Chain A
């Protein structure tokens, strides 16, 4: 079965410091990977995706993610965190085993950026 794991429930970082939110995946075949962000009482907003190509993917709001096939990881990164980045972040994989029409989400990682 296809799945993603987010090993950290919470990540704390000081404003201006680099941040990393971790994600590992388990898929059969080539992975289609996504990161979404959720602010309080809001739906999910798409940040970036990896389908194929360069291992470093750039997305919205200065975020980027590094795809590592050997480590089956897709960690989300940002060089300099902002207080406004504080939110819930979800890693997700497209379930190609069932035809690719549904996306499976991790449990989420709450990011706190302290001023």
Chain B
């Protein structure tokens, strides 16, 4: 499968615990994006990488959230001290540098904080 891969697909955690999600983009894509989607809403932009550089973080991304892409390949999104409001689908996408190309999305990681 040469698409965007996200792991795990589902995560249930207790409030206050830390969680980490992984995204493996399409191999030739140097742009990688994280989005969050809550029920009944469209995806909201969280952060973006060009290769290993994190170029923008949304104001939605509190200090408890951190994302990395250490070698410009896979990326991780960590949420510390999870809260119930963090429950959502976390989507990863990747694309080439060309502005006229679409982003390709993974199937997402659904986080439930209990």
Q: Which residues of A contact B (CB under 8 A)?
A: 32, 34, 36, 41-46, 49, 51, 90, 92, 94, 96, 98, 100-108
Of A34, A90, A101, A108, the residue contacting B56 (CB under 8 A) is: A101
**Which of under 10, 10 to 19, 20 to 34, or 35 or more describes the interface residues of B?**
20 to 34
With contacts A32-B99, A101-B48, A102-B48 known, is A43 near B107, CB below 8 A?
Answer: yes
Residues of chain B lying within 8 A (CB to CB) of residue A46: 102-104
Give Cα A100–Cα B50 distance, bound, in whole angstroms: 12
A44–B91 CB distance below 8 A: yes
B31–A101 CB distance below 8 A: yes
Kindly state whether residue B100 has any CB partner on chain A within 8 Å.
yes
Closest chain A residue to B101, Cβ basis: A49
Of the A-B pairs whose beta carbons lie under 8 Å apart in the complex, a sample of 30, sorted by A's number, is: A32-B100, A36-B105, A41-B110, A42-B108, A43-B6, A43-B106, A43-B108, A44-B43, A46-B102, A46-B104, A49-B102, A51-B100, A90-B42, A90-B43, A94-B99, A101-B31, A101-B48, A101-B50, A101-B55, A101-B56, A102-B33, A102-B48, A102-B56, A103-B33, A105-B43, A106-B42, A107-B41, A107-B42, A108-B40, A108-B41
